[in-house]
Amino acid sequence: MSTLTRTDGSAQHTVAQSLVLDRLHKTYTSRGKTSFEAVKGIELSIEPGEMVALLGPSGCGKTTTLRLVAGLETVTDGDIRIGATSVADLPPAKRNVGVGFESYALYPPLSVRQNLRYGLRARKVRDADQRVDTLAARLEMTELLDHRPADLSSGQKQRVALARALIRNPPVLLLDEPLSHLDAAQRQRVRRELKVLQREFGYTTIVVTHDQLEALSLADRIAVMDGGVIQQFGTPDEIFDDPANRFVADFVGEPNINLVDGVVQRSGGKTFVRVGDAGMLPVTATGVADGRAVTVGLRPQDCHTGVGAEQPALEGEVRVYENLLEFGQATVDVPGVDEPVVVQTPADERLAGGDVLRFAADAGQVYLFDDDSGERLR
């Protein structure tokens, strides 16, 4: 397989660069209306060649953050550094970042090939045609090169938009929902190829997504964002197994985490949390006062069944059982708990509605959150 050459006419490609967002603020002000703070002091330190996923619900400021880094919005406060250089006051052209736009931003009168070349023309790259061909082959879009954007499906446009971002080999790559319109099979393939290209060329990358599977598969680290604030920044394992707060625990994980009321109870030097009328789960948190009311987070995947009667556990009647082939999923009514608790069960353990299920989780996987602030209690 041929590779994309890194030597281009402008020769401005260097080794991978770090990207630092330093207490970044963005306030949108439109005259006559109240101003809106879309980004509230984001701190992110991204290693050279690292791929970070920005994961969060709609309207949390993901696109705004990308546009700040690209230079398409003015920074209200804070700094952005690529390598050792502060770029917060540089125009977009001088930042040398590649952006894959959510709206594709393809130029209608030009063919796909011309669109891709267009990005190279301003910088007078010499082997433009060869680069276009090579990249098109790797992104499975050679047959699209002679079409106009108007002739393409949204998934095809998205691949072209991705190619347009990659074609210049920018040291910093910003992708806004790059795969959202691809079908499932394409998405997996393009995702893999994107990952390979990113590794190969060492693009320092931020990819915006609200698909957590995409975040998990692509990213070295994930930044979970909500309300213009980074809620947690860490590896997928850290995000999943050690959530910083209730929002992160709730937002990440499929199926959703169970969040139920509980009361902390200490006995015999150990800490437990009482859930419902008679349920009891072990916890590792040591800094929580005896008798404090908390929110308990318990992932369906972390539950295990077959717990002895003498051990702390939850027990309840199965309301619904779903056989999902690789595993089962039981929805259990635990006495004294408002919401039914979802439990993932081993595939060979078939249940039916009305069965009584006793289940528990390891102490390290039972998370306690403050009732009001949602902060993790440890």
Ligand X SMILES: Nc1ncnc2c1ncn2[C@@H]1O[C@H](COP(=O)(O)OP(=O)(O)OP(=O)(O)O)[C@@H](O)[C@H]1O
148 or 292, CB closer to another protein?
148
Q: CA-to-CA distance for 112 and 160, rounded, in angstroms?
A: 7
Q: 228-232: long-range contacts (C-beta < 8 A, 24 or more apart)?
A: 228/26, 228/37, 228/38, 228/39, 228/40, 228/42, 228/60, 228/61, 228/64, 229/40, 229/41, 229/42, 230/42, 230/43, 230/44, 231/56
DSSP 206: E
Q: Which does 351 bind (CB under 5 to 8 A by kind): another protein, ligand X, Mg ion, none?
A: none
- Per DSSP, helices labelled H in 12-95 are 62-70, 92-95
Rg of the chain in Å (alpha carbons): 25
Lay out the site mask for Mg ion across 60-79 (x = CB under 5 A, - = otherwise).
---x----------------
Which residue is nearest to ligand X, using beta carbons?
63
Q: Which does 72 bind (CB under 5 to 8 A by kind): ligand X, another protein, Mg ion, none?
A: another protein
269 binds another protein (CB under 8 A): no
99 or 197, CB closer to another protein?
99
Quick one: which segment of 62-70, 279-287, 341-349, 350-358 binds ligand X (CB under 6 A)? 62-70
Question: Within positions 203 to 262, which residues make up the interface with ligand X, using CB under 6 A?
Answer: 210
CB 292 within 8 A of CB 264: yes
Q: Which does 119 bind (CB under 5 to 8 A by kind): another protein, Mg ion, ligand X, none?
A: another protein
Q: Is the peptide bond before 255 cis (omega within 30 degrees of 0)?
A: yes
Q: Which of 60, 179, 257, 313 binds ligand X (CB under 6 A)?
A: 60
Q: Which of 82, 97, 225, 275 binds another protein (CB under 8 A)?
A: 97
175 or 377, CB closer to ligand X?
175
- Three-class DSSP category at 285: coil
Instruction: Please name which of 25, 28, 61, 17 lies closest in space to residue 41, comparing C-alpha atoms.
Output: 25
Which residues of the shown chain bind another protein in the complex (CB under 8 A)?
30-31, 70-72, 91-93, 95, 97-99, 101, 103-109, 118-123, 148-150, 154, 157, 164, 168
Which residues of the shown chain bind Mg ion in the complex (CB under 5 A)?
63
Which residues of the shown chain bind ligand X in the complex (CB under 6 A)?
28, 30, 36, 38, 56, 58-64, 210
